[in-house]
């Protein structure tokens, strides 16, 4: 292969790789830092959800679900780590899901989940 074509192909591959990284960086992420997966929480109120996030370009706020209840709307989406008080929890197993939403409340697909037990 001619040297100039080879260099062009190498440059194109590197450019595509950097473009993929830029898209991944803009796709958003949510990391639940507390409670950890499998944690045992106390029943009642006083439990907090702590998280870090990087909003995607379309994200404006969070929908926080405990099991299949109506979502808690989380508007604190900057200067994280962030936290929010969880509703009173009953004994048993619970699933907490944090989902990114647009201004129109459509879900973007960026989410994080943790399962906990409550005594």
Task: Give the residue-averaged pLDDT of 47-53.
Answer: 96
pLDDT of residue 78: 84
Domain residue spans of the chain: 28-118
Q: How many residues does the chain have?
A: 119
Q: Can you name the residues that pair with 118 across neighbouring β-strands? A: 41, 92
The DSSP bridge pattern shows strands 92-101 and 48-54 to be unpaired
Q: Rounded to two decimals, what is the model's pTM?
A: 0.76
Residues 71-111 pLDDT 10s: 999 988 888 899 999 999 999 999 999 999 999 999 999 99
pLDDT at 77: 85
- Strand-pairing partners, residue 52, are 31
Q: What is the mean pLDDT of residues 19-35?
A: 72
CA distance linking residue 11 with residue 18, whole number of Å = 11
Average pLDDT over residues 46-70: 95
CATH 3.30.70.100: does it fit domain 28-118?
no
66-81 pLDDT tens trace: 998 999 999 888 888 9
Q: What is the DSSP string of 23-43?
A: HHHHS-EEEEEESPTT-EE-S
Structure-block tokens of residue 28: 């958003």
The rounded percent of the chain whose pLDDT value lies above 70 is 78
């Amino acid at each position: 292969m001619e040297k100039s074509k080879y260099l062009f192909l190498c440059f194109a591959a590197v450019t595509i790789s950097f473009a993929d990284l830029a898209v991944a960086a803009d796709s958003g992420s949510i990391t639940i830092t507390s409670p950890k997966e499998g944690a045992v929480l106390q029943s009642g109120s006083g439990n907090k959800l702590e998280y870090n996030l990087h909003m995607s370009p379309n994200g404006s706020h969070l929908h926080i679900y405990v099991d299949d209840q109506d979502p808690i709307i989380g508007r604190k989406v900057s200067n994280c780590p962030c936290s929010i008080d969880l509703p009173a929890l009953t004994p048993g197993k619970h699933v907490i899901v944090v989902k990114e939403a647009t201004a129109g409340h459509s879900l973007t697909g960026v989410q994080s989940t943790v399962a906990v037990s409550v005594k």
